[in-house]
A and B are shown apart, each in its own frame.
Chain A
Amino acid sequence: MYGYGGQILRINLSNGQVTKEPTPPDVAREFVGGRGFGIYFLTKEVPPKADPLGEQNKLIISSGPFSGLLIPGAGKCDWTTKAPLTGGYASASMGGHFTAEMKYAGLDSIILEGISPKPVYLLIDDNKIELRDASHLWGKGSIAVEKMLKDQYGEEFQVAAIGPGGENCVSFAHINHDYGRQAGRGGVGAVMGAKKVKAIVLRGTQSISVADPEGYRKAGMELFKACKEAEMLKEWSSYGTTIVVSWCDEVGALPTRNFQAGSFEDGKNLYGPVMRQKIVITDKGCFGCPSPCGKYSRVQRYDTYVEGPEYETIGMIGSNLGLSSIEDVAHANYLCDEWGIDTISAGGVIAWAMECYEKGIFTKADTDGLELKFGNAEAVFKLIEKIAKKEGIGALLAEGVKRAAQKVGKGSEKWAIHVKGMEQSAYATHNATAMLLAYMTCDVGAHHNRAWAITYDLQVGRERVAPEKVARVIWLQHFRPMFDVLGGCRLQWVELGIDRNLYLPALEAITGVHRTWEDLELVGERIWNLARLYWMREIDGFDRSWDLPAPRFYEEPPASGATKGQITRFEDVQKLLDMYYEQRGWTPQGHPTPQTLERLGLQSFVN
């Protein structure tokens, strides 16, 4: 198959067996690649009700047809598994160079199965595939391990590694790669840790064949030209995702003190230009990216290096914890990366704990003596380590905010800011109905990247509850994740505003298959519905209550900031869901109807 690596690699960790099989053409046709392959293999191969940390769960790592080719930002890698954080579907998108290397090794997916009897790392050097002893790496930080393995194998090898958080199966442990790119959300790192795989070391030296080499080169060059001519290129490349910190602060979308407000009085200290001036030393790009959002920083105060912080980390570890120094936020980012936990979930669960402390539910007896007040950076640093080690209060927080709040009770569930058990990422949604709906219905829990609708809210009236807003969210949920299917990056389209139609001749020249965006959006809808079926299969009684947001957004108007006194009424929350289900062809309980499944060719996945 043109444009593909051509093979699926399976590693049975329980018995050490390594097998390869051709990538099934019908799966490539229906699910294309990346997260499409992920949900397909997850649904087909992991038995219902499997323990996310048990032998039956699988970790499915997939590239897409764009990965590794002359396409702007062709460096996105999908990590799909049953999520330890939520008990449902996890699909984490990781940038960097790993996915390109997979393709050069001839691999479309790597599927890790079973559990290794002892710590190992997986070495893939083209066709040489081995499990090697990792006892000397176990317990070490993910950045340190990447450095050790790069020193050992050389610059041509790509490394993805877990930190102690993954080893200890923290429910939001991540996988770190390229010194600062992560498969971040849902606990994919905990699954890797449960399987006793410390790292994957990968090199591929094979060429990737495309269907129409000349057409492909021309279309690829056109895409790069469009990026380079884009008006936003310089500004975007200077600040990356931190470009939105000031805007979010101004419009009340910057999460502040556990989403109690959407504007932060010290927010200006965290804005992109401040960060660039104070700590950024190098712009860092994923594979083939002409518009690098990666900002590599040095924090002199702590003598640490870190990629970031990105907007999400600034929001969740910065304003959401009341931290007002970009150096403190960057250092906490470094600690999360090295210890191997997701900054977004870490920020969410620590903010919840701080609110518990400030409300008197926690005392120092509960917090291992830490003064868990908003703004206490030292306490944040210590908590990150405690979470990764599951030590003291860290053991509670390592479960994620939903389970922690269920255990503690005393009303703290009200300020556990999550959907489906996943901590909400860094957009305060007191009065932004499209973004709120995007979080409510996101297929992995409260994550922003499927439908980033916050600017749209501001454009069309943030409080409006209307069918066209719902339709926009649904369209985004199909369109944006297509880039995770194709193994590329959406940001050239989102941020540079290049014409999305430029991708189509490239995709056709690569794969030899003619596809329109309507065709691709149908694939997106198929994946979306299959993920929904997965939740229904895994969670008994999965219904519309699972799509409700944190009560804070319909019960507690912020006392300050741009959204002071503003809120989304609960009846509007319900109305949004009604419209969403109707437009999707789902029942009032949020289940795809038989007609919808038939239209999408998903009947065989039921029963």
Chain B
Amino acid sequence: MMRLYADSSKCTGCRACLVACSLNLFKENNPKKAALVIEAHFPAPGTYKVRVCTQCGKCAEVCPTGAIKLNERGAYYVDMAECNLCEACVPECPEEVMFVRTELADTSWKCDLCGDCVSVCGTGVLWIAETETVVA
């Protein structure tokens, strides 16, 4: 299974990835409707932290309507027609990148691994690769 990875130490906080993400997910220019998060920690320690979806699938497990499905890339995505905005998925997400913001959209949203964020990032923060298998 593939997933998105981020090296936060390379992030410059430019947010190009957020615009690219909203363009793909919603066909809109609106970084508030992106499926990854950049936290800025300034003035000290002066670093950014990038939070991305690991495709762990916990959101899909708890979704009561089955709206979170696998796409052709093997990534979980939200079938927006089937989301009932119950928000059950939101607290389950370990990376806090499962979104319900009814003032912005009448559906939940998450990363569907389109890769557009990777395409626009100029500093190599983001990449898509096989999920690492961790043996317990």
A residues engaging B (CB < 8 A)? 68-70, 72, 75, 97, 100, 104, 143, 147, 155-156, 178-179, 205-210, 213, 217, 221, 224-225, 227-228, 233, 237, 281-292, 294, 296, 298, 305
Contact = CB atoms under 8 A, between A and B. Distances in A.
Given A70-B23, A288-B15, 13 more contacts: A70-B20, A104-B32, A147-B42, A224-B16, A224-B119, A281-B46, A281-B47, A282-B47, A285-B13, A292-B14, A292-B122, A298-B44, A305-B46
Contacts of B12: 282-285, 289, 292, 294
Given A233-B122, A237-B123, A104 B15 contact: no
Interface of B: 10, 12-16, 19-20, 22-23, 26-33, 39-40, 42-48, 103-104, 116, 119-123
A-B pairs with lowest CB-CB distance, top 8: A290-B122, A285-B14, A285-B12, A207-B28, A292-B12, A207-B30, A288-B16, A179-B42
Contacts of B13: 284-285
Contact of A227 (B31, B42, B122): B122
A288 B16 CA distance: 4
Given A285-B12, A305-B46, A69 B29 contact: yes
A298 B40 CA distance: 16
A407 B105 CA distance: 61
Contacts of B22: 207
25 contacts: A97-B15, A100-B15, A104-B30, A104-B32, A147-B42, A155-B40, A205-B30, A209-B29, A217-B23, A224-B119, A224-B120, A225-B119, A281-B47, A282-B46, A283-B10, A285-B13, A287-B15, A287-B16, A290-B14, A292-B12, A292-B14, A292-B122, A292-B123, A296-B46, A298-B46
A208 B29 contact: yes
B123 A70 contact: no
Contacts of B16: 70, 72, 224, 287-290
Contacts of A100: 15, 31
Given A179-B43, A286-B14, A292-B12, A224 B23 contact: no
Contacts, number: 108
Contacts of A291: 122
A209 B13 CA distance: 24
Contacts of B103: 205
B48 A282 contact: yes
Given A283-B12, A305-B44, A70 B30 contact: no
A290 B48 contact: no
Nearest to B14: A285
Contacts of B46: 281-282, 296, 298, 305
Nearest to A144: B43
A420 to B, nearest CB: 34
Nearest to A237: B123
A70 B19 contact: yes
B119 A305 contact: no
Contacts of B33: 207
B15 A290 contact: no
Contacts of B32: 104, 156, 205
Nearest to B47: A282
Contacts of B45: 281
B121 A290 contact: yes
Contact of B43 (A97, A147, A292): A147
A4 to B, nearest CB: 12
A288 B32 CA distance: 14
A153 to B, nearest CB: 14
Contacts of B26: 207
B114 to A, nearest CB: 12
Contacts of A208: 29-30
Given A227-B122, A289-B12, A210 B43 contact: no
Nearest to A289: B14
Nearest to B10: A283
B120 A205 contact: no
A106 to B, nearest CB: 12
A290 B13 CA distance: 10
Nearest to B103: A205
A513 to B, nearest CB: 18
A156 B103 CA distance: 15
A510 to B, nearest CB: 9
B131 to A, nearest CB: 26
A282 B119 CA distance: 22
B9 to A, nearest CB: 8
A72 B40 CA distance: 20
